[in-house]
Amino acid sequence: MNLEKLVAVSGMSGLFRVTANRANGLIVEELGTEKKIFIPARKYQFTPLESIGIYTADGETAPLNEVLQKMLDKQAAFPPVDADASPAELRHYFEQILPDYDADRVYISDIKKIVKWFGVLHKHGILDTEPAGNNSEEE
């Protein structure tokens, strides 16, 4: 899966694909609607999905793309819970996906966001694509 051009924007719901970069902001396309809009950097903060990591108990972080891949791989055995499920249900689900996540530093709001993002990315077929550079040709 390639999260390279995908961003979350503070204060705005949903996920966006970057289509152009301007000095004072980004032109993005909302996933699903394909509507292009300009988002000024003065008013909003951008978080590239590829830069997000989930804290683990060993003090390291698990990259978001690996967590989403685990969710995809385990979808048949552990279907994603609703993002509005109880905190106990969300934590139980996330323990099945990433057993060594740091429960003290990964908040319920983080788990909800990841579950929502998984739904959006899966719905638009982004999770089903192979990551770039996955071809391992030996010379």
Residues 6 or more apart whose CB falls under 8 angstroms from that of 89 comprise: 81
Task: Provide, rounded to the nearest whole percent, the portion of the chain with pLDDT above 90.
Answer: 76
pLDDT at 138: 38
What share of residues in the chain are helix, strand, coil (percent, to 5)? 30, 25, 45
| Arithmetic mean of pLDDT over the chain | 89
Helices (H), the chain: 64-73, 87-97, 108-123
pTM value?
0.85
Q: CA end-to-end span of the chain, whole Å?
A: 25
Q: CA 4, CA 15: separation in Å to the nearest integer?
A: 12
pLDDT greater at residue 51 or residue 129: 51
Residue that the structure tokens 């791989």 belong to: 73
